[in-house]
Amino acid sequence: MTTNNAVLAKSPTPAEAAAALAALREEIGKAVVGNDAAVLYLVLALLCRGHVLLEGVPGVAKTLLVRALATSLDLDHTRVQFTPDLMPGDITGSQIYDPHSAEFTFRSGPVFTNLLLADEINRTPPKTQSALLESMEERQVSVDGEPRPLPDPFVVIATQNPIEQEGTYPLPEAQLDRFLFKIDVQLPNRDDEFRILARHAAGFDPRDLTAAGLAPVANGAHLAVARAAVGQVTVSPEVLAYIVDLCRATRTSPAVAHGASTRGATALLAAARAFAWLNGRAFVTPDDVKTVATPTLRHRLQLRPEAELDGVRPEAVLASLLVSVPVPV
């Protein structure tokens, strides 16, 4: 299903916005085989104005996934390859002296976009990583004390490699907490890997997504209408209490030194509402909360050293809590 220029030009209805987001997921599928869960969470992040951290070994199409998303959206997008010599001003922009006017003028950096791909974000030093903190939380950049608003929507999608540690700088907890989701991009199963190779054998070129047939099927107007509709999704007091109890349980787990913060609880609420709307419901169920709990909370749990030595993973802690925390009827 595609959206023509006439639909893109007019103000869409909520039904048209939902159809455009469904078409967006289908369009990404023209370039990316499998990884349906990652595609879903990227769309949810767009609905929640949230940022996403994609983690996976090299060669599992993390960058291709984001490029396919950007190509399928009628929005500005920029890719920045994070390197050890990248400076904060290379991201946010800086004041440049103009000899003709004898004045300093601001030259905006790549962060002034709708969709920012921060490729291999853990390869740049903490000073440069922290340059994104204000942008991700406040949707603005301050240079020489003057705040400059970023475009709306503004979403950061960062990638990192979990197995290569030399020459990398792990993201601090404060920055990890700014990401709505952390998505583990896995190697494909045998059938998906066969389909990937079959596409390449038929001439698919991942460097030319336009030739692969990808085109914009959704735009900022669709997202604005969808976000407004998500804001109308109701949440019962019982489900709110379930979210609170789940997040509080992460703080008392024996394996966890620091659990999910209140920001994590609000992120879980937002993700559950977006998931409910995307599935055609005007209310949130406990199953919605369970579905989005792991990608929303896994990066917000800091395990105790002894638990890490025993090989405990945040995903295992969350799986246990999702079983033990009482679910409202």
Domain boundaries, given as residue ranges, for the chain: 5-84+113-139+148-227, 231-324
Structure tokens at 82: 């994070």
Condensed to tens digits (0 to 9), the pLDDT of residues 88-116 reads: 889 998 888 878 887 888 888 999 999 99
Looking at residue 7, what is its pLDDT? Answer: 42
pLDDT in tens, 118-171: 999 999 888 888 888 888 988 999 887 788 999 989 999 999 988 766 668 888
pLDDT band at 35 (very low <50, low <70, confident <90, very high): confident
At residue 107, the pLDDT reads 86
Contact 138, 225 (CB under 8 A): no
- Kindly state the tokens that stand for 101: 């006017």
Percent of the chain with pLDDT over 90: 71
Beta-sheet pairing, 155-160 with 302-303: unpaired
Nearest-5° Cα angle at 223, 133 to 131? 10
pLDDT of 294 above 90: yes
CA–CA separation, 258 and 286 (whole Å): 24
pLDDT at 75 over 80: yes
Model confidence band, residue 10 (pLDDT cutoffs 50, 70, 90): low
Judge if 5-84+113-139+148-227 and 231-324 fold alike in CATH terms. no
Q: What is the pLDDT of residues 182-240, one digit of tens each?
A: 999 989 999 999 999 999 999 999 989 988 899 999 999 999 999 999 999 999 999 99
Higher pLDDT, 89 or 290: 290
The correct answer on CATH 1.20.1050.10 for the domain covering 231-324 is: no
pLDDT at 14: 93
Q: Which residue has the tokens 């749990």?
A: 301
**Is the pLDDT higher at 167 or at 251?**
251
Sequential DSSP letters for 130-146? THHHHHHHHSEEEETTE
Instruction: State the pLDDT at residue 302.
Output: 94
Query: How far is CA 158 from each of CA 123, 186, 283, 287, 290, rounded to the nearest angstrom?
Result: 11, 16, 31, 28, 24
Q: Is the pLDDT of residue 18 over 80?
A: yes
pLDDT confidence bin for 301, thresholds 50/70/90: very high
Identify the pLDDT of residue 47.
Answer: 96
Residue 313's pLDDT band (cuts 50, 70, 90): very high
> For residue 276, what are its two tokens?
């409910």
Give the range among 39-43, 80-84, 244-248 with minimum mean pLDDT: 80-84
Question: Could you write out the DSSP letters of every residue in 113-129?
Answer: SSEEEEETGGGS-HHHH
User: What's the pLDDT score for residue 146?
Assistant: 83
What are the backbone angles phi and psi of residue 317, rounded to the nearest 5°?
A: -60, -45
Write down the mean pLDDT value for the chain.
91
Instruction: Provide the token pair at 99.
Output: 């000899």
Average pLDDT (12-16) is 93
Scanning the structure block, which residue is given the tokens 């929640």?
48
Given a cut of 60, whether residue 299 has pLDDT beyond it is: yes
Give strand pairing partners of 182.
53
* pLDDT, mean of residues 242-267: 96
Q: What is the model's pLDDT at position 167?
A: 67
**Confidence (pLDDT) at 268:** 98
- Using pLDDT thresholds of 50, 70 and 90, give the confidence band for residue 259: very high
CATH number of 5-84+113-139+148-227: 3.40.50.300
2 has pLDDT over 60:
no
Q: Is the pLDDT of residue 4 over 50?
A: no
Output the pLDDT for position 258.
94
Which residues make Cβ contacts (< 8 Å) with residue 213, sequence separation at least 6?
30
Query: What pLDDT was estimated at residue 174?
Result: 82
